[in-house]
Amino acid sequence: MPARERRAVVVLGLLIGLMTTALPTMAQQLLRIGAIPDQNPEKLNRLYSVLATQLSNELKVPVRYVPVSNYPASVSAFRSGSLDLVWFGGLTGVQARLQTPGARVLAQRDIDAKFRSVFIANTASGLKPIQSQKQLTELRGKRFTFGSESSTSGRLMPQYFLQQAGVSPSQFAGGRAGFSKSHDATIALVQSGAYQAGALNSQVWDSALKEGRVDTKKVRVIWKTPTYVDYHWVVRPGLDQRFGKGFTNRLQKALLNINKKSENGRTVLELFAADSFIPAKESQYESIEKVGRQLGKIR
């Protein structure tokens, strides 16, 4: 082989080697955020794209939103390291931390410390507003849907309150409850009459009402649950090693510092239907873990 060709091969080999070496470093420098897919993908893409920009500007690192297909996928992606920071519901957050030792709760919205679910009914179902939890027995024999199977506000806590009233999913029409997969879908299915009643996140219901996406002649709230703790940000261990000492604390501070003084911060909080993010800790979710174990969602 001529000397010129040998030199070209050597140079090409060095370039490939440098590129291969750089790839892991580039991946390590990217902060990947995710969330449970509790609403329609279009809204989630908008919300987390805005948040990614906010965090990137604050932390001076590239941040990318990585969507997942369902609730269990968010837990799996967090466990495997495909996601670094995830907006979990109460149940999925507990599941993620149990499967990822060293994971840490960073924050929740101001509305998450005392969250609620709502039970809604199609107005043609004959179901009237419920005055006490005991009256949930009126849902027996009705076509009823939860949201996602792993949703705290769309399944876990509603099923818990139903159980307290003596109602099991086997007592719904067809011997089981449906699963709409998201809060928005629950509203649509009950409003259409496909299901006579369902349960969902109260914040999503309130937002849908505000945005005019609910036909109140066809669907209405019949009961609001007692309060419980719900959504929260959970971060993987090891980010300080990847991004530098103190990065996890800086990330928490960046979330807590989001406010309505800036246009971007205002947009983030409006999309999250909150006034602020507040500190949160693992002990707040012990009751969710207890209910999750009781209903067989955590083993």
Domain ranges of the chain: 9-113+230-294, 117-224
Coil, strand or helix: which one is 200? strand
Tokens of 258: 């989001």
Q: How far apart are CA 89 and CA 38, in angstroms?
A: 9
Q: Do residues 98 and 298 touch, judged by C-beta distance below 8 A?
A: yes
Pairing of strands 31-35, 144-146: unpaired
Alpha carbon 158 to chain centroid, angstroms: 17
Q: How far apart are CA 273 and CA 252, in angstroms?
A: 19
The per-residue pLDDT of the chain, averaged, comes to 92
Tokens of 145: 């849907």
pLDDT of residue 26: 45
Specify the higher pLDDT residue, 14 or 133: 133
Architecture, CATH, for domain 9-113+230-294? 3-Layer(aba) Sandwich (3.40)
% of the chain exceeding 70 in pLDDT: 91
Q: Pick the range with the lowest mean pLDDT from 2-11, 185-194, 217-226.
A: 2-11
From residue 137, give the alpha-carbon distance in Å to each of 169, 175, 199, 221, 294.
11, 15, 15, 16, 21
CATH code linked to domain 117-224:
3.40.190.10
Q: For CA atoms 83, 85, 91, 94, give the dihedral sign.
A: positive
Coil, strand or helix: which one is 251? helix
pLDDT band per the 50, 70, 90 thresholds, residue 1: low
Q: Note whether 9-113+230-294 and 117-224 share their fold.
A: yes
Q: Which of 211, 252, 265 is nearest to 104 (CA)?
A: 252
pTM of the model: 0.86
Q: How far apart are CA 43 and CA 182, in angstroms?
A: 12
For the stretch 150-165, what's the b/e string if a residue is b when 16 or more beta carbons lie within 10 angstroms of its beta carbon? bbbbbbbbbbbbbeeb
Q: How far apart are CA 288 and CA 286, in angstroms?
A: 5
278 φ, ψ (degrees, to nearest 5): -125, 160
pLDDT digits (tens, 9 = 90+) for 110-168: 999 999 999 999 999 999 999 999 999 999 999 999 999 999 999 999 999 999 999 99
pLDDT digits (tens, 9 = 90+) for 55-98: 999 999 999 999 999 999 999 999 999 999 999 999 999 999 99
- Inform me whether the pLDDT recorded for 25 exceeds 50: no
